[in-house]
């Protein structure tokens, strides 16, 4: 089968011919239809992601496809089931074997493209805003990187939760995508002063930040007392250092969120969140935004869209027409 493989830590990934895997105990094998790309894939290529597997490994963190084989001890799934899986790796391939606990069945209403774009982006935003920040209707949510894969879902979910949403992104096209997702106010990070603009709007109760760097600093200074700041990632390459005395003065809270980490210690947080999100999608309340799709042979083009920040929403690789 085909697989997009990192052969050694200092190599570039390449499309390779590898053996079709056999599911082990507790695993399902999936005939993969689509795979969603994530910024973490770029970090894995550089070896800087917290869960980078040892080489060789196949890139691709989240997939959608059809179960075609079961390992020993698997219950609740059968060959032919349509599923989405957060595997953490192994998604950019024709087949993948994944722990059954990482899979969810898909409603008939969800397309393969939507399914591959759904779990990490929507799951991260929902867990961050609902479970971690406990955001309430009427609060003000500032979303940095608001046109990216997770940022756009934070705008959408923030509006569904009743927040006033301030979206910050670079350029008119990206801000237009955030507006379409429900943003109430727009800030162009290339031309406007984030701190001044947010303070003029009354300040932020919750900050959702996948960017870091200077934007984090500006947002930090535009917080209301008792605001909650959620570091999601560091697309700028600059990991902010938080001064505890500044937290003290304004009674601020910084809430770390690593969505995949809940699989290790509280998987019910993810399953409950995904159940809510799947229901919202079935009701037509969530509409995944996929700006680019590429075949598996052009996975490098999809990764380059992320690397150069030219995409809005998600980039999805199509692998098979199932």
Among residues 242, 260, 278, which one ends one of the domains? Answer: 260
DSSP 147-213: TSTTHHHHHHHHHHTT-EEEEEESSHHHHHHHHHTT-SEEEETTTS-HHHHHHHTT-EEEEEESS-H
CA–CA dist 35, 89 (Å, integer): 10
The answer to whether 233 and 39 have CB atoms below 8 angstroms apart is yes
Domain count, the chain: 2
Same domain, 211 and 310: no
- Assigned domain for 274 exists: no
Token representation of residue 299? 């996975």
Same domain, 251 and 132: yes
pLDDT tens figures, 90-145: 999 999 999 998 899 998 889 999 999 999 999 999 999 999 999 999 999 999 99
Question: Domain residues for 308?
Answer: 2-118+288-318
Same domain, 105 and 136: no
- Assigned domain for 279 exists: no
Same domain, 154 and 98: no
CATH number at residue 113: 3.90.180.10
- Assigned domain for 270 exists: no
- Assigned domain for 275 exists: no
Instruction: Specify the pTM.
Output: 0.86
Burial class (CB in 10 A: 0-12, 13-18, 19+), 176: middle
Same domain, 243 and 127: yes
Q: What is the pLDDT of residue 50?
A: 83
Same domain, 300 and 231: no
Same domain, 109 and 125: no
Same domain, 256 and 301: no
Q: What is the pLDDT of residue 238?
A: 86
Q: What is the pLDDT of residue 225?
A: 95
Same domain, 90 and 149: no
The C-alpha torsion from 62 through 64 and 67 to 69, rounded to 10°, is: -40
Same domain, 131 and 114: no
CA–CA dist 142, 165 (Å, integer): 6
Same domain, 170 and 114: no
Q: What is the pLDDT of residue 260?
A: 83
- Assigned domain for 182 exists: yes
DSSP 294-305: EEGGGHHHHHHH
Same domain, 187 and 227: yes
CA–CA dist 266, 273 (Å, integer): 12
Q: What is the pLDDT of residue 31?
A: 98
- Assigned domain for 254 exists: yes
- Assigned domain for 273 exists: no
The C-alpha torsion from 112 through 117 and 119 to 120, rounded to 10°, is: 150
- Assigned domain for 299 exists: yes
For the chain, which residues score pLDDT lower than 50? none
């Amino acid at each position: 089968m085909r697989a997009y493989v990192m052969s050694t830590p200092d190599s570039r990934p390449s499309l390779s011919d590898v053996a079709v895997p056999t599911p082990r105990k507790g695993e399902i094998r999936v005939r993969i239809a689509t795979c969603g790309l994530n910024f973490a894939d770029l970090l894995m290529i550089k070896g800087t992601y917290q869960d980078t597997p040892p080489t060789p490994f196949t890139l691709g963190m989240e997939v959608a496809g059809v179960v075609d084989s079961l390992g020993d001890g698997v219950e609740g799934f059968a060959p032919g089931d349509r599923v989405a899986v957060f595997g953490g790796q192994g998604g950019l391939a024709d087949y993948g074997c994944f722990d059954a606990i990482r899979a969810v069945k898909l409603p008939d209403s969800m397309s393969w493209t939507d399914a591959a774009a759904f779990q990490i982006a929507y799951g991260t935003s929902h867990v961050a805003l609902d479970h971690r920040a406990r955001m309430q209707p009427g609060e003000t949510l500032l979303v940095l990187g608001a046109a990216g894969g997770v940022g756009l879902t934070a705008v959408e979910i923030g509006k569904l939760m009743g927040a006033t949403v301030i979206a910050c992104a670079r350029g008119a096209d990206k801000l237009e995508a955030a507006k379409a997702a429900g943003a109430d106010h727009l800030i162009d990070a290339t031309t406007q002063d984030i701190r001044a603009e947010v303070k003029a709007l009354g300040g932020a109760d919750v900050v959702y930040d996948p960017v870091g760097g200077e934007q984090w600093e500006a947002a930090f200074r535009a917080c209301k007392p008792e605001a909650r700041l959620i570091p999601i990632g560091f697309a700028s390459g600059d990991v902010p250092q938080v001064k505890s005395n500044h937290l003290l003065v304004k009674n601020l809270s910084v809430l770390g969120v690593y969505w995949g980490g809940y699989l290790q210690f509280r998987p019910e947080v993810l399953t409950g969140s995904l159940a809510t999100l799947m229901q919202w999608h079935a009701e037509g309340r969530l509409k995944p935004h996929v700006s680019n799709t590429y075949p598996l042979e052009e996975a490098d083009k999809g990764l380059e869209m992320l690397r150069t920040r030219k995409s809005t929403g998600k980039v999805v690789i199509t692998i098979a027409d199932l």
